[in-house]
Structure 1
Amino acid sequence: MTVKENLKKVNEIIRMACEKSGRSQEDVSVIAVTKYVGIERVQEAISCGLFDLAENRKEGLLEKQQEIHDERVTWHLIGTLQTRKVKDVVDHIDYFHALDRLKLADEINKRKKSGKLKCFIEMNISGEESKHGIKENELDDFIDALSGYEHIQTVGLMTMAPNSDDSDLIRDVFRRLRNCRNRIRDRKLDYAPCNELSMGMSHDYRIAVEEGATFVRIGTALVGNELKGS
């Protein structure tokens, strides 16, 4: 399937999810996760108007950026980032979706040359040991601790739902993240406006949109996975 054909399906599912939940489709941004595809497929995505591109590893991000020089592109790093790699990417990304510890915030703030990096706090709502992120009862203290970081702006929260066929379980995780977001947003903090929700991937983005996602991270269902396992 072409990216154009996939995008048509994705947009229709998002449209129906927004209609069901009383939202505007314009409030949902689709991020094309390109970690399993090559440059030609990325260029195809851009030609379809997909300007939010994401990689989960530093190496993949920098490789793509060596070939993609389109100023319309917004770059997202969505995977766990080791502190020793911060210096290599912090000035090459627009959004970071996996801020989960103060040591990492320290390094970002230290290495960012100017301006603010838009960050999502990664939360482990499901409680799975295999997942990264802070717990719900740690969120307020974590937000408070970020107040002194001049180069970090907390724009929202991010989570990953369990890889499950249980839609009720997935929905509960997304709903709890939304409730956490609302609590921080209502504090009206300049350094942490927390208006956004980064949640939903290829298998569960419909539910995520119904529960308030403003960014959905879609790879396989949108651009494919031609490099997976290679």
Structure 2
Amino acid sequence: MAHECAPIEANLAHVRESVASACIRAGRSMEDVAIIAIAKKHPAEAVRRAIAAMQLDIGESYVQEALAKQEEIADPRVRWHFVGGLQSRKAKEIVGRFHLLHSLDSEKLAHKLHNAAVDQGVTQSVLIQVNVGREEQKSGVMEEKLPELAEAVLGMPELSLQGLMCLPPFFDDPDGAQPFFAKLRKLRDDLERRLGVTLPTLSMGMTGDFQQAIAEGATCVRIGTAIFGPREY
């Protein structure tokens, strides 16, 4: 599906068509699904080309790389998303610099982010990352501890809990990920009922499985390779 040798503009057009088709199949509006272009390990110039094609949601996974690109690009239209694992010692560096933090996974990190938000006089929007596959190598709160963490975050006035995020186990067949996306949606729905809140955002699905995520209610899909091509590490 990824057009690795095509220009970023052509890749973006292809991704938008694929997202639109997935939305139609799911009986959803494309306006309900945000494409987040994951730019980690890609240069600022690639991000500029995406922005020129009106891709304004940009995701990053590494704090220093993200902050450097923000300074270099300095475009107020861009909504920066932090999607990578986050260490609590980095909280002060990222609060107020990102439209949405996707990877909150502990009460300790929540307190660090909240304290930084209070110090800076900002409200930071966050998602809770859930380890839907119970994989030891992945971040994310376990589902049985999710209500407790969500309640704690809701008690921190300068954090705005918007919803949930997940990274399902990897499958050669993307249909294998679909039950995990369904699980995240159910966890979100259960939380809304239990806590009496609205959590509109489900961040799930990447280049290989975003169509399955959209079928299960994703509102943010995180797409890197299909837009920017393969990464060089």
TM-score (norm 1): 0.94
Match of 1:114 in 2: 121
Greater Cα offset, 43-52 or 180-189: 180-189
Task: Pick one of 211, 217, 220 that aligns with 2:216.
Answer: 211
Contact in 2 for aligned 1:77/1:96 (Cα 8 Å) = yes
Residues 108-147 of structure 1 show CA distances to partners (whole Å, capped at 9, x for unaligned) of: 0111122321101000001111111111221112112223
Q: Does 2:183 align with 1:183?
A: no
Instruction: Quote the Cα distance in structure 2 between the aligned partners of 1:49 and 1:185.
Output: 33
Contact in 2 for aligned 1:98/1:122 (Cα 8 Å) = yes
SS state at 2:225 partner: coil
Instruction: Quote the Cα distance in structure 2 between the aligned partners of 1:99 and 1:176.
Output: 18
Q: Does 2:124 align with 1:133?
A: no
Give the gaps of 5 or more residues in structure 1: none
Once the two structures are TM-superposed, the CA of residue 188 in structure 1 deviates from its matched residue by: 6.2
Residue identity (%)? 37
Match of 1:193 in 2: 198
Match of 1:148 in 2: 155
Letter in 1 for 2:158: H
- Structure 1's consecutive aligned runs of 4 or more residues displaced over 3 angstroms after TM superposition are 186-189
Letter in 1 for 2:30: Q
Greater Cα offset, 94-103 or 147-156: 147-156
Letter in 1 for 2:104: L
Letter in 1 for 2:153: L
Q: Does 2:57 align with 1:63?
A: no
TM-score (norm 2): 0.93
Map of 1:1-230 to 2, 5 A cutoff? 1-112=6-117, 113-187=120-194, 189=196, 193-226=198-231, 228-229=232-233
Instruction: Quote the Cα distance in structure 2 between the aligned partners of 1:114 and 1:174.
Output: 35
Letter in 1 for 2:215: E
Contact in 2 for aligned 1:33/1:218 (Cα 8 Å) = yes
Contact in 1 for aligned 2:188/2:199 (Cα 8 Å) = yes
Once the two structures are TM-superposed, the CA of residue 168 in structure 1 deviates from its matched residue by: 3.7
SS state at 2:36 partner: strand
Greater Cα offset, 27-36 or 8-17: 8-17
Instruction: Quote the Cα distance in structure 2 between the aligned partners of 1:154 and 1:133.
Output: 15
How many pairs are equivalent? 226
Residues 157-201 of structure 1 show CA distances to partners (whole Å, capped at 9, x for unaligned) of: 000121212334200000000111112233564xx5311100011
Instruction: Quote the Cα distance in structure 2 between the aligned partners of 1:134 and 1:82.
Output: 14
SS state at 1:186 partner: helix
Call closer, same or farther: CA 1:187–1:147 in 2, change over 3 Å. same
Once the two structures are TM-superposed, the CA of residue 37 in structure 1 deviates from its matched residue by: 0.9
CA RMSD across the alignment: 1.4
Contact in 2 for aligned 1:185/1:195 (Cα 8 Å) = no
Letter in 2 for 1:165: D
Instruction: Quote the Cα distance in structure 2 between the aligned partners of 1:188 and 1:19.
Output: 32
Letter in 1 for 2:178: R
